[in-house]
Amino acid sequence: MVYPEHTLANTLSDASAATDRFTHVSYQRTPFDIAAYERGTCEGPCFVCAIAAGDPEYRGPAEMIYEDTDVLVFLNRYPTLRGYTLVCPRRHVESVVGGFTEKEFVELQGWI
């Protein structure tokens, strides 16, 4: 397809303006504390079970989207992308490969 020169220039200009708008968006970022994360994963309780149990240290900061007797859906506390959402079984599971029956795994995937 051949674009008239002025149309292409306008398109590039519009794209550049759109890019400028996105590069000037600011939001508060929380630095990731990797040392605390390592300590927590090695020494602390399972954060999903703590959230499920209502532990205020974990439950308080969790932005819950949905929960029922089987599943918890909440925003990641340290998101690498906006809207990074965790979908977890309410019961403790150690392995995403071996911790579920096929039926349970498929049901959990239905939330994603």
Task: Return the number of the residue (1 or 42) whose C-beta is nearest Zn ion.
Answer: 42
Task: Return the number of the residue (3 or 78) whose C-beta is nearest Zn ion.
Answer: 78
Going by the DSSP 8-state scheme, the letter that residue 62 receives in this structure is -
Tokens of 53: 């149990």
Task: Return the number of the residue (94 or 102) whose C-beta is nearest Zn ion.
Answer: 94
Number of shown-chain residues binding Zn ion (CB under 5 A): 4
User: Which residues make Cβ contacts (< 8 Å) with residue 23, sequence separation at least 6?
Assistant: none
Asked if 49 interacts with Zn ion (CB under 5 A), we say: yes
64 DSSP β-pair partners: 74
Interface characters, 80-109, with Zn ion (x: CB under 5 A): ------------x-----------------
Span of 7-15, 24-32, 45-53, 66-74 interacting with Zn ion by CB under 5 A: 45-53
The two beta strands, 85-89 and 71-75, are antiparallel
Smallest gap, in angstroms, from Cβ of residue 1 to Zn ion? 55
**What CA–CA distance (Å, rounded) separates 68 from 84?**
20
Single-letter amino acid code for the residue at 81? L
86 SS3 class = strand
Smallest gap, in angstroms, from Cβ of residue 19 to Zn ion? 42
What does the binding site for Zn ion look like in residue numbers (CB under 5 A)? 46, 48-49, 92
